[in-house]
Amino acid sequence: MSTPLEAQSALPASEWRDKKRHLWLLGLIPPTAVFLASGFVAAMNAIGHGLQYVSPAWWWIGPFLLFILLPALDVFFGPDGDNPPEELMEQLENDKYYRYCTYVFIPFQMASLVYACYLWTADDLSWLGIDGGLSIISKVGLALSIAVMGGIGINTAHELGHKKDDLERWLSKVTLAQTFYGHFYIEHNRGHHVRVATPEDPASSRFGETFWRFLPRSVWGSLRSSIELERKRLDRAGKSFWHPSNDVLNAWAMSIVLWGALTAIFGWEILPYMVIQAIYGFSLLETVNFLEHYGLLRQTTASGRYERCSPQHSWNSDHICTNIFLYHLQRHSDHHANPTRRYQTLRSFDGAPNLPSGYASMITLAYFPPIWRKVMDHRVLDHYDGDITKVNIQPNRREKILARYGASTGA
């Protein structure tokens, strides 16, 4: 294992400038993508000459951005590698421009969701050059595009929810309302960050575990954990679990109000597509969870407690394009070491374990377990200098994996 880790700027503070300062506004592409898609559909239908037959593909703009465009851009532009100097950290932290870049995501997210509900139910879209309403295939594509926006919205909520400002915490819950995943606000901050890279954490994937096994374990485990964490907090405060201050229940209430209002306005026809976008949206979060700590394990100290979480316990990826879209989430090692640090000041560490590509590319690999294991298992072992006993192993495969690598099962 490589230690110690360092994060240094290549330039002195007097010369350093945030080259990504204005690029952070590109993070508004996901919550405005369906509006862009509408413009492309209308233009292609107006031009004709056969383009009208392929124009419905634009309703799948979300999956196109996530699975094709972003991975290609990550390959083309490569890693970032630019860290802010330590002397400028406080100045960057206090620059409100960066937090406004996250705030503005939310009204566009809500506008896109309302617009999608209109498109799912409209029976006259002649203004887009469409006879009648959208086809079922187009509606599903639109639902998946909204899901991609919702999944990235959970990441925006993640950035806001870690902060101490009450407004930002409230906005975090608002952002989670679309995907009905408000309990993430509690479980991530008070559960995952405490238990990360241990067998007890439902959101830390294990060596030999497939994404498809991890997904239900993380979803249900995180749900149970969030409820238990709030129950204990309210018990200590002498309050009932059903008290309005329950952050799980009031976050879910926001979803109920949002979904209820949209259903009242647009009708029951939106619900199948709302369910599709919610499930796929939060599954994208869980795919990212799967990537971030695969096989990594905090070792047990002489006192029997887990060692403190360090940059060695998270997989990094410093590819610049996905970094911009995910507010430096890929600099995950620094995030776990400094959870309240704002995204613009997160650093890339030398020696931290690194994924071979950006999250956008790795999400696709996670869906195919044999490919995932071929790419990642040897990287886990290399990180621990070949010592399989230091790895967080899937329990039902533990004996088989230990035997494969010539380690004792301890039996």
What spatial distance separates the first Cα and last Cα of the chain, rounded to whole Å?
Answer: 27
DSSP secondary structure string for all residues of 322-358: HHHHTTTTT-HHHHHHSTTS-GGG--PPBTS-B-SS-
Count of beta carbons in the 10 Å neighbourhood of residue 333: 27
Q: Which residue ranges of the chain lie beneath pLDDT 50?
A: 1-4, 409-411
Global confidence as pTM? 0.92
What confidence score (pLDDT) does residue 82 get? 84
Contact 295, 205 (CB under 8 A): yes
Contact 146, 221 (CB under 8 A): no
What confidence score (pLDDT) does residue 1 get? 45
What confidence score (pLDDT) does residue 6 get? 55
**Quick one: which of 123, 253, 114, 104 has its CA closest to 245?**
253
Q: Which tokens sit at 24?
A: 């952070």
Count of beta carbons in the 10 Å neighbourhood of residue 269: 12
Residue 260 region, left (φ>0) first, then alpha (ψ -120 to 50), else beta? Answer: alpha
Q: How far is CA 47 from CA 54, 262, 351, in A?
A: 12, 34, 53
Residue 355: partners with Cβ closer than 8 Å, 6 or more residues away = 291, 315, 316, 317, 330, 362
What confidence score (pLDDT) does residue 4 get? 45
Kindly report, residue by residue over 186-204, the tens digit of the pLDDT.
999 999 999 999 999 999 9
What confidence score (pLDDT) does residue 9 get? 56
What confidence score (pLDDT) does residue 8 get? 56
